[in-house]
Amino acid sequence: MKRKSANSLAPGFRFHPTDEELVRYYLKRKVSGKPLRFDSISEIDIYKSEPWDLPDKSRLRTRDLEWYFFSPLDKKYGNGSKTNRATEEGYWKTTGKDRSVRNGSRIVGMKKTLVYHCGRAPRGQRTNWVMHEYRLIDEELEKAGIPQVRT
Amino acid sequence: MKRKSANSLAPGFRFHPTDEELVRYYLKRKVSGKPLRFDSISEIDIYKSEPWDLPDKSRLRTRDLEWYFFSPLDKKYGNGSKTNRATEEGYWKTTGKDRSVRNGSRIVGMKKTLVYHCGRAPRGQRTNWVMHEYRLIDEELEKAGIPQVRT
């Protein structure tokens, strides 16, 4: 079964950005309102969907089981630093420590890994849906997020 | 140092065709004169260049150390099956056995690996330049080659 659309890639072409490309090109340009050479990442509210509904919302049709989105971060409590990562049927739970994304020796971003759990914390059921959330570390351009969902 | 041209890919995009895509899409369409969705592979005579001159002849500017070309096969002796793989300063020498390229259980092509040697056989000096040559196995469409040079 093949789906052909304007945004499917020609055979042999892949969208496999490095962490650095995601942060320093896609996320930085998005946050600063600069145009992207190829508009390959849709902007959605990731927490308004369950993970299995996300592939259809991806702008790029790929044969890989990876999809990329821009998404705003929803703060749970007014000025607090805790973010609300619940969806209607489950929630995304942080796993491990955030890792840094580097350009040479300079840290340009951070990468957080989250796992989707069905149900409500703390009794949710772990699934195989994994999201990598990238945020920009930059004096002018803080507090922006680009999640990448992967299963 | 960055080189931007019409044929450089946007950040995050790669040209990483599988063996099957190379044979069943690129080579087959080329041989049968059908148009390619994205004209990413130049046609050159690979044996008229030394390997280090090939990257500049690639249509696609990538950050990978891999380049793709269509090239005719030059038969050494009239109807013989031996092909002439000498360049001006060296020659490409077959290494290992040809491997099959499959679509499911069906063999659709063969892949030959060659290593560039400086000088003249049998005293040439082995280098790190490697070429994968793909040919089509198909009742109607035999005897066509698509080499892929890699270092």
Instruction: Kindly determine whether residue A25 and residue B11, on different chains, have CB atoms separated by under 8 Å.
Output: yes
What residues of chain B, 40 to 99, have a C-beta less than 8 Å from chain A?
Answer: 40
Q: What is the ipTM of this complex?
A: 0.70
The nearest alpha carbon in chain B to A37 belongs to B10
Which percentage of chain A shows pLDDT scores above 70?
79
Q: Which of B80, B49, B78, B54 is nearest to B68 (CA)?
A: B54
Q: Judge: B25–A36 Cβ closer than 8 Å, yes or no.
A: no
Distance of CA A41 to the CA centre of its chain: 10
Distance (Å) of CA A113 to CA A108, A123, A142: 17, 20, 19
Name all domains of chain A by residue range, CATH numbers in brackets.
19-72+85-143 (2.170.150.80)
Residue B26: closest C-alpha in chain A: A11
B36 touches A: beta carbon within 8 Å:
yes
Question: Are residues A148 and A134 in contact, defined by beta-carbon separation less than 8 angstroms?
Answer: yes
A67-83 pLDDT, tens digit per residue, is 999 998 766 555 555 56
Alpha-carbon torsion (A3, B147, B129, B65), positive or negative: negative
pLDDT at A19: 95
Q: Cβ neighbours of residue A62 under 8 Å, at least 6 residues apart?
A: A8, A9, A14, A15
The residue among B4, B8, B13 with the most chain A CBs within 10 A of its CB, best to mutate, is: B13
pLDDT, residue B141, reads 58
pLDDT, residue B46, reads 94
Beta-carbon count within 10 A of B12 CB: 21
Which residue positions in chain B have pLDDT lower than 50? 1-5, 140, 142-144
Cα separation values, B136 from A2, B19, B102, B147, Å: 24, 11, 11, 12
What is the tens place of the pLDDT at every residue in A8-26? Answer: 788 988 898 999 999 999 9
pLDDT band at residue A93 under the 50/70/90 scheme: very high
Q: How far is the C-alpha of B133 from the C-alpha of B130, rounded, in Å?
A: 10
- Residue B143 amino acid letter: K
Task: Report yes or no: B22 at the A interface, CB cutoff 8 Å.
Answer: yes
